[in-house]
Structure 1
Amino acid sequence: MKKLLRGLIAAMVAVLMIGGAAPAVSVAAAESSDTNVVDAKAAVAIEPTTGKVLYAKNADSVLPIASMTKMLSIELVLDAIDSGKIKWDDKVTLDKTIWSLSQDRDLSNVPLRRDGSYSVRELYDASLIYSANAAMMLLAKTVAGSQEKFVNQMTAKLKSWGITDAKIVNVTGLNNSQLKDAKVPGTGDQAENEMSAKDMAQVAQHLLKDHPEVLKTTSIAKQTFRKGTDDAINMENWDWMLKGLVSYDKNLPVDGLKTGTSDAAGDCFTGTVKKNGMRIITVVLHANGDAKTRRFDQTKKLMNHVLENWKTVQLADAGQGIKGYRNVTVNRGKARTTPIAPVTKAVAVVPSDTSKQDLKYTYTPAKGVKKNTIEAPVKKGATIGHLEVTAKGDSLGFVGGAKREGITLKTTKADPKANFFVLIFRGIGDFFGNIF
């Protein structure tokens, strides 16, 4: 009887828990075991092709990002260029508010004349190289018509990428108090743009994927604005890790991306480097240390740590089959199978001590595919499934969350449906083959 009573009590408790009496439990984001590598409030490193997270320290905490905001703003400017909405040689004139802000040399700015006109190209260069705030605002107005409309576009772009916890109040990353009359109405007098390190890395990832030409500008160490005019000013890139600048390291050929500095954000930097065939993106928020180079000192530590502990393994070239996943069975096809392969070069990013034998493959069939079988007829280029590749010690996940699909496998040949007589004789052959 006692056993029966205990069983009934246990069953009732289970029913209550299943019924929703227990509160939902949020799962903390995975952290690197060696978070002491970087002395900063938050940091992250990713491989941009796969989106794999290679290092994470407080990476999901939403913090001020200052002028790293301009990466998102430049994404929208380049989108407008690509769509034909604006052109590089379009001439842009100032309004009184932006002109007034451009005269504040306590902020990062290039001198702009009230009655002057400037090309989209020179404003773009000034925004990326010198972090020129008024230049960035003038580009935003050119694209969207107003600062407020551009901020709305920035927020919409983030949401389209699955980033919903960011706070965007202006196009530059300045504190709203510094914008004065240029502040977007209703955004707060002391408000500032905020985002997590992980989401900042995702912004950089999209910028490099959508507009890889941006590296031609972010890698420029020095350039003269309006060279040969009375307004000429030497612009030295705030990314001091570029060749010829104070934090350059020949072993780390950094070619971007964007710094950020404010009282609330501290010294921040989103950097990128390609070495040993692998590109990485790093984000350091509010770097600690005494030196003026602290954000670059911490970035160097992070980059070296990641490059020592991770590598890329090429699984196949575009159009080349991956061992174990080279064919799909075609039910009632003229051929019984048809070849499948990734449409782009397939790589896995794994810990540096990983061998190919240590890799784990997780295959997910596409819609309409049952396990590894699809009904004829099959078109060339049909998506068959997605392949996720992981390894031991690989537990930090990816940026972009559930949008991650892995390596996409598609058919490289078409397979029409077999005719009636082929199917009849094939059925007879299969019948006797199974008997014997």
Structure 2
Amino acid sequence: MMKKFFRTIVAFLATITIGATVLPAATASAATDGVESTLNLNAKAAISVDAKTGKVLYAKNATTALPIASMTKLITVYLLREAIKSGKVKWTDKITPDHEIYKISQDKSLSNVPLRADGSYSVKELYQATLIYSANAAAMELGDIVAGSQDKFIDMMNKKLQSWGISDATIVNACGLDNSDLGEYIVTGTSKTDENRMSAKDMAIVAQKLLTDFPDVLDTTSIAHKTFRAGTDDATKMDNWDWMLPGLVYNQSDLNVDGLKTGTTDAAGECFTGTATKNGMRIITVVLNAGGTGATKRFQRTAELMRWTFSNWKNMTIVGKNASIAGHKTVTVDKGKDTTVAAKTSQAVTVPVPTATTKKDVTLSYKAVKKTVAAPVKKGTTVGDVTVSVKGDTLGYVDGSETGVKVATTKTVEKAGFFRLLFRGIGNFFSNLF
């Protein structure tokens, strides 16, 4: 989060300096965890991943936990969307802020939309204020709606991260402010000096989960301007703090950026979890504590990282949908009307690879789930998995597992009757005899 006064100043500076901003040229070659990189990004930590597969495309200090500030709100939003999907919460549900959250909303030095102590606010408008304007009190209200209290919500946040394999995060509030900015309204067991911390890799996992499970979140993160409580005395113009969106001060015509979330505190510096698409490929980038000068440095670093990623990686279809895998074209059916059934890929095997990659650099690996299936066998029964590895690439995936597709049976095979099995057994006996 930025202090409001500071944000006003940087916004002014951005408008007068943006035209003179020049992205630095690539530095000398530097090894980046197994992929030769010409990008030495000026940030304490950064990562670029493929949004669909979680394939890591660039990493710098990506596993070190650092302050994440308002990017925390992506976790808050995920839990809200999960509650809405389950029917526990509705977009039209309304809440009146408790006294402490009301006081925080009135702090004009923080990112906020003003809430009234006697006001009633819908989930939808608090959600929009959280994502577009980084409204801190609004994010905390969402936590209360989902869990009933801040203490319970922070527990939910930590448990959700752990379920995603994230074990080294520190989450102490729902909005990303330093605890010192929350006055006495801090979660039990935390101190005023605590703040939320995660690694760039773990923030990428959060963003990937959000985009995979709730892709329409981009309908909100891509809104450049909106008015909170339009037509009321509390009307507040919300300009999105993601300045890379179309119409804002650091939009880049070659980068189709449509989300996600900025974050700024004194400890975190300028951070940004972004996403963009090009040539059918969506990437997620995370920049923590961006280096450089000027009011747009986190966006400069993000643009460098996005351009480098799109220039150095491409999607390659290794195997098409409904393809047979050599050596594994069929699987044996035990006691079926047919003794074997064809097995093919359930979808195409498409993965990001370095741009110079050719098919000869790719290794296809098949792992059998079932070597024999017992009749009756349904069409679509998974019998194996296909994964891909690329020569020289050791970056791996954010969740530690390779991407792959299922190999499944292509038709249903019914169980054979008694006489069919009897005569088949006799035939096998004499075949083996002679």
TM-score of the pair, normalised by structure 1 = 0.87
Q: Who is 1:131 aligned against?
A: 134
Q: Distance in 2 between matches of 1:35 and 1:107?
A: 38
8 A Cα contact 1:364 1:386, kept in partner: yes
Q: Distance in 2 between matches of 1:53 and 1:69?
A: 21
Superposition deviation, residue 48 in structure 1: 2.1
Distance change >3 Å, CA 159–CA 434, structure 1 → 2: same
| 2:90 is equivalent to residue 87 of structure 1 | yes
8 A Cα contact 2:35 2:392, kept in partner: no
8 A Cα contact 1:71 1:203, kept in partner: yes
Pick the aligned partner of 2:278 from 275, 280, 286. 275
1:178-327 correspondence to structure 2 within 5 Å: 178-315=181-318, 320-324=322-326, 326-327=329-330
Superposition deviation, residue 57 in structure 1: 0.7
Superposition deviation, residue 355 in structure 1: 2.4
Pick the aligned partner of 2:60 from 57, 60, 64. 57
8 A Cα contact 2:47 2:56, kept in partner: yes
Q: Distance in 1 between matches of 2:329 and 2:305?
A: 38
| 2:43 is equivalent to residue 40 of structure 1 | yes
- Letter matched to residue 410 of structure 1: A
Superposition deviation, residue 169 in structure 1: 0.5
State the aligned residue count. 402
Report % sequence identity. Answer: 55
8 A Cα contact 2:35 2:393, kept in partner: no
- Letter matched to residue 296 of structure 1: F
Q: Distance in 2 between matches of 1:299 and 1:245?
A: 15
Q: Distance in 1 between matches of 2:345 and 2:81?
A: 29
Q: Who is 1:410 aligned against?
A: 408
Q: Distance in 1 between matches of 2:354 and 2:36?
A: 14
Distance change >3 Å, CA 241–CA 272, structure 1 → 2: same
For residues 154-175 of structure 1, give each alpha carbon's deviation from its aligned partner in whole angstroms, at most 9, with x where no partner exists.
0010111111111100001110
Q: Who is 1:162 aligned against?
A: 165
8 A Cα contact 2:34 2:392, kept in partner: no
Distance change >3 Å, CA 351–CA 187, structure 1 → 2: same
Q: Who is 1:23 aligned against?
A: none
Q: Who is 1:395 aligned against?
A: 394
Q: Distance in 2 between matches of 1:400 and 1:121?
A: 31
8 A Cα contact 1:124 1:136, kept in partner: yes
> Which consecutive segments of 4 or more residues in structure 1 shift more than 6 A?
427-436
- Letter matched to residue 158 of structure 2: T
- Please tell me the root mean square deviation across aligned C-alpha atoms, in Å: 2.2
8 A Cα contact 2:74 2:206, kept in partner: yes
Q: Distance in 2 between matches of 1:289 and 1:209?
A: 32
1:137-152 correspondence to structure 2 within 5 Å: 137-152=140-155
1:354-365 correspondence to structure 2 within 5 Å: 354-365=357-368
Secondary structure at 2:183's aligned position in 1?
helix
8 A Cα contact 2:53 2:403, kept in partner: no
8 A Cα contact 1:382 1:410, kept in partner: yes
Q: Who is 1:339 aligned against?
A: 342
Distance change >3 Å, CA 406–CA 95, structure 1 → 2: same
- Letter matched to residue 321 of structure 1: A
8 A Cα contact 2:349 2:404, kept in partner: no
8 A Cα contact 1:44 1:282, kept in partner: yes
Q: Distance in 1 between matches of 2:38 and 2:190?
A: 34
- Letter matched to residue 416 of structure 2: A
Q: Distance in 1 between matches of 2:38 and 2:262?
A: 22
8 A Cα contact 2:348 2:405, kept in partner: no
Q: Who is 1:376 aligned against?
A: 375
TM-score of the pair, normalised by structure 2 = 0.87
For residues 39-71 of structure 1, give each alpha carbon's deviation from its aligned partner in whole angstroms, at most 9, with x where no partner exists.
101111111221111111111111111100000
Distance change >3 Å, CA 91–CA 345, structure 1 → 2: farther
Secondary structure at 2:184's aligned position in 1?
helix
